[in-house]
Copies of this chain bind each other. A is one copy, B any other.
Amino acid sequence: MKLQTFPGYTFLNGGVCAAQGFKANGVCCGLKHQALSDDTVTEQNLAANNALSDDENTPKKNDLAMILADCPCHTAAVYTTNKVKGAPILVTRKHLKNGLAQAVIVNSVNANTCNADGEQKAAKMCELAAQALGLETEDIVVASTGVIGQVLPIEPIRDAIPTLVEGLSYDGNKEAMQAIMTTDTREKQIAVKFRLGKKTVTLGGMLKGSGMIHPNMATTLTFLTTDCAISSEMLQLALSDVVRVTLNRVSVDGDQSTNDMVCIMANGMAGNSEITNDTADYAAFRGALYAVMLNLARMCAADGEGATKLIECVVSEAPDEQTAETIAKSVIESSLFKSAMFGADANWGRIACAMGYSSCNYDVNKVSVDFASEKGRITVAENGCGIPFSENKAKEILLEDEVQVLISLGDGEAAAVAWGCDLTYDYVKINGDYRS
């Protein structure tokens, strides 16, 4: 996937460790997909199973990550809008009431959601992490991702924390990244540096997310760190604003997760004068956040479960941004359109169809549709009707692994972009038996 670049911002490696003063680590504590079957209901059973059934020859995937800042951070977060919320979300929300945190603990495999003891377990994770780090429980952000409705065994996490803490390092972002992945096939992390006056500021992050991804929410687990000095209020403002035009415009399958959270920590170590208002410095900071999150959003869509290609839908000449956004999302969410993209089939009628049921107000007779990719650009509809085009050229364009659908409403100057992917056999395969 090509990175989208922005003048004034230089891309760096390092993810959550790119900014100064942030350590990270990830380990395999041995969490498992474990159904609540009659035979294995107790935590003792789960723990025993975890301890015993590992084949020494099976490579272990990290499932527990930690991020630690050198000092307390202004911290902001955005959470899923799903009514059913993972227990970690409820706990993190409490801990972030004062806008401060210093560390994150996060596990994959088990979402710790729809469990009677979920909140208690999420609080316990914070307590154990705080003890090991010499912090207050309230300074810890906790998150979980994985199967919903299975009791989270605390023992493997408790037992792994000493190793996790011991291994924290200023370049541990890769271990942490791997620990939060579930069906993700690629690591998704990036960072940028930029100037604020005479200071160099860095902002980076990592994102986990491949399925159960939908707009209108925070989408997936994303952890961002920066050494910028910025107040909690302005941090929250920037995060909410940028999530709206990045992660909230990504859809893989229309399913909104129960556990999604985007969290950003700012430790102020860059030494810039603290951003506390909507100034030029704030605009520069927001630009950095946009550069990071836009690219994470595109990586997320490109690595959608089973996806073979990234689809970017641009709706322009719209009467307002909301109309453009709603139509762009409706198109990238259409299963029929997504299946056609998998087949590199220029069946633009499905785009017209998805636009039509978006409940937006627009003139169907002014719509034009183009397809574009590295191989060129082709117009397939004008004034709401099909026009002659070369099927061979269209196929060539659509066979690329990054495809743009360019829709003009011919009725204004607003625009919006949404990102999605194709619907493939592998999506069904991955989700036909995710738990096993």
Contacts and interface: CB of A to CB of B under 8 A. Distances in A.
A342 interface: yes
Contacts of A428: 339, 342, 423-425, 427-428
Contact of A386 (B115, B258, B358, B359): B115
A214 interface: yes
B342 A381 contact: no
A59 interface: no
A81 B81 CA distance: 28
A398 B302 CA distance: 32
A258 B347 CA distance: 14
A250 to B, nearest CB: 15
Interface stretch (A274-282, A292-300, A388-396): A388-396
Contacts of A212: 336, 353
Given A83-B355, A116-B383, 12 more contacts: A82-B353, A84-B352, A84-B355, A151-B386, A255-B354, A256-B356, A258-B356, A335-B431, A342-B432, A345-B436, A423-B428, A425-B425
Interface string A411-436: 00000000000011101111111111
A254 B255 contact: no
17 contacts: A36-B388, A38-B388, A83-B357, A84-B364, A111-B349, A115-B385, A150-B349, A255-B336, A255-B357, A256-B353, A258-B352, A335-B427, A335-B431, A343-B431, A343-B432, A345-B436, A423-B428
Contacts of A358: 83
A149 interface: yes
B345 A433 contact: yes
Contacts of A391: 35, 37
Given A340-B431, A353-B256, A150 B345 contact: no
B149 A386 contact: yes
User: Secondary structure of the A side of the interface?
Assistant: loop
Interface range, A side: 35 or more
A82 B347 CA distance: 18
Interface in A236-262: 253-258
A114 interface: yes
Nearest to A148: B349
A114 B83 contact: no
A349 B113 contact: yes
A339 B432 contact: yes
A391 B342 CA distance: 34
Q: Nearest 8 pairs between A and B by C-beta?
A: A148-B349, A84-B356, A343-B432, A339-B431, A149-B386, A256-B357, A343-B433, A149-B349
Given A255-B357, A345-B432, A432-B339, A352 B38 contact: no
A252 to B, nearest CB: 9
Contact of A84 (B353, B389, B436): B353
A260 to B, nearest CB: 11
Contacts of A113: 349, 352
A147 interface: yes
A334 B254 CA distance: 7
A255 B340 contact: no
A211 interface: yes
B357 A214 contact: yes
Contact of A387 (B36, B253, B429): B36
A389 B345 CA distance: 44
A357 B352 CA distance: 26
Contacts of A387: 36
A318 B85 CA distance: 21
A336 B388 contact: no
A392 B38 CA distance: 10
Interface in A91-111: 111
A384 B35 contact: no
Interface string A148-168: 111100000000000000000
Given A255-B336, A384-B114, A436-B345, A390 B357 contact: no
B424 A353 contact: no
A318 to B, nearest CB: 14
